[in-house]
Each structure stands twice: as structure tokens, then as C-alpha cells.
Amino acid sequence: MKLQIGTPPVEFEALIDTGSSVIWTQCLPCLNCYDQRNPIFDPSKSSTYQDLRCNNTPDHSCVYDIVYADHTYSIGSFATETVTIKSTSGQSYVMPETIIGCSHNSSMLGRSFSGMVGLNLGRSSLVSQMGKHMQGAISYCFSPEGTSKIHFGSNAIVSGEGTVSTTMFMKKENHVFYYLNLDAVSVEETRIETLGTPFHAVDGNIIIDSGTTFTYLPASYYSLVREAVEKVVTAERVTYQDDYSLCYVTDTMDIFPVITMHFSGGADLVLGKNNTYMDYGEGAICLIIICGPAAPNFGEAIFGNIAQNNFLVGYDLSSRLVSFKPTDCGVTQDIPIDDNSISAASLFQFNIKYFGRAKSGLFVLQTNPHKLVRFHLCIPGDS
């Protein structure tokens, strides 16, 4: 997602992450920064930049230290700054005195972007700081290729034919995350209930996270889903070093069963083959619903972003609903977009590009806007 910070405004491109809170970008002076496409932000050149003051540090600086589940990190200090988002309507949405993180020490995968935009329920997230008139509503539509849309406010409400909605839960112990309740998973006609397993819950058991690539299920329940897939697929198995992966020697996804996620309230989300299986190369295709926990700080189960591809996904805090609408997210453009401009469509609708950001296992790196290169990294002893 493209944003502008500072006065005069400087553009930066950041990953959107419903699993984190902080809006941060790399800043000068940089002790340890990764390469990025846009120039690194220089706070000294902005007339609206102001360091936040905290009383619990010797120099009264407000420091932050974020470590993500894939062991990438950002360390820096909090500040207030003007954040500007260009809408596709041509109007700009200006947020003065927005709390951002100014990162002086960071490590990230796929180095074209300049930082992160946290979209969860934390007080420093973009959603929280946009204010009540945005109604706490966001929606996005991830396309495996190209540019798609993100909406805020009334434009973010997802409805219409094919839409399924499920209750959004918040937990006291992890109050910033968006929880859904997964009642069952179907592999073709075989329905695997969570009832009777340790995974069963009625108040949320899986986090929906745009910043995690794969979908993770706890071991005891994952084994049941995996066994159901194994019963359907008759191709030759292939084992990678991470032998928890379920992979087959094949050049087609036609042999794999359709998987449906049954969320509470009757929200039956039928996933496409590209949502649940991935070509690892060398003639192998693997199930990308994986044994967790991938991120112990988040919980045992995560509904990741590949599973969300080609769905319009909406979060509505006022109704406490998350909605899914099957959508070809790659053809939502009204006017062609280039890298240096944002074209007109509708108010509070913004352009985003899809980056697969793995938190373990398979890393998907963008080498250019039109080609994805995939490789598998096995770290001994790292689950």
C-alpha cells in the first residue's frame, strides 16, 4: 500500500498487516537498514515530524522493538507525523499527528517495500487512528498478480451475491487480533468437525492475518485434515526436509480435493485449488494448510493470505463481522495504474500490490511487478 508521510510528503510503500499494530518506515540515520526501492525517510526534512516523549526512559524517547514470527524485526522510536493517503478518487485523506514508528534498525524479507502498515485493533494501527468516521471498516482484495484495491469506511462494507459472513471475536489475552471461529473443515464431502478436539471453541479459535502467507492449524486437528487429503490423492508422495509438508509428484492441481472452511454462523468458504495448494517446482505440488503453531505469540491457528486470494475480505467492527465475497481481484481496475500515480475510482479506495510474506517455510519474494520467484528454505531445528 502506498502512503505519504511528512511535510512536504514523501511516498513510501508498505505491507498491510492485520496481524500487527504499528505503522513504521525506515528512517535516517539508519544503523542497520535493508535496501528499499524508495529513498529512506529523513525526519529532519519534515516540518511536521515530532518525536514522542516517554517518561520511563533516560532520554525520554519512546522506543519500540518488534520481532515478527519469521524473525524479521524493526527497532526504532515512536513519533507523530502527517500521514497522507491518496484515494483513487483523486482526493487525499490527510491524518495529522499520526503515531508512526521511525525504524533505525530493521530486517525484512523481499526488500522492495519501506515498512509496514499495521491494521489490527491496536491503538497505534492505521484503522484505530483513522477515527470513528471510518467506522472501523476495512476491506481488501488480494490478487496473486498485479494491483488490487483496499477500502476504508462505508466503501469497505462487503455484501451482494456470494457473500458469506462470520462473527469477529476479540479475546482479552490477545485483544488486538481479529479472531474467527472455525467449526469444521471439509475435504470434498468429508467434513471434519472441530467439536471433540482440543481445537474446538465457540469464542474464536483462528486468527485472520493478512501478513501470514500460509494457513496454520494445530497439530491434532491438522493431522485429521491431512489424512482426509491423503485418502483422495493417489499420486506419488515426495518428502521435503520439513517432512510435515504433504507433497505429491504431479503437474496438475486437478487431482487434489476441494477444501471448504466452515466458519461459525453458516459461513461456508469454498476455497479454490490455488488457495490451498502450491506448485513448489520440480514437479511437486504441496498442501499449504500447514501444521502450527506458526506464531506462538498469535495463537495456534492462523488463516493466512494465500487462502484469502481472490476474495473480497471485509472487516466491520460495528457489526463484529468478517465477510468474504468470491471476486476476481486482478480485474478490479477502473483505469490503468502505473508505479508513480494513483488513478480515480472511488473515495477511500486505495491501490495495493500483493506480496506473499511467509512467516515460516516457503518464502515468496517479488522480483518485479509481474513475476514471482518461489524457493523453499529449510532451517534445521526451526519449526
When pLDDT is averaged across residues 301-328 and rounded to a whole number, the result is: 95
| Cα–Cα dist 37/62, whole Å | 27
Among 70, 209, 242, 316, the one annotated catalytic: 209
242: annotated active-site residue: no
When pLDDT is averaged across residues 312-316 and rounded to a whole number, the result is: 96
55 or 123: which carries more pLDDT confidence?
123
Give residue-wise pLDDT tens across range 66-114.
988 778 899 999 999 999 998 877 888 999 999 999 999 998 866 678 9
Which residue segments constitute the domains of the chain, with CATH numbers given?
A: 2-130 (2.40.70.10), 152-353 (2.40.70.10)
Q: Please tell me the least confidently modeled range out of 120-129, 301-310, 372-381.
A: 372-381
pLDDT at residue 370 is higher than 50: no
C-alpha cell at 111: 526488500
Give residue-wise pLDDT tens across range 192-243.
999 999 999 999 999 999 988 899 999 999 999 999 999 999 999 988 656 5
209: annotated active-site residue: yes
- Report yes or no: 182 and 301 within 8 Å, Cβ to Cβ: yes
pLDDT in the model for residue 344:
24
C-alpha cell at 334: 477502473
Residue 131 pLDDT class (50, 70, 90 cuts): confident
Among 17, 70, 183, 316, the one annotated catalytic: 17
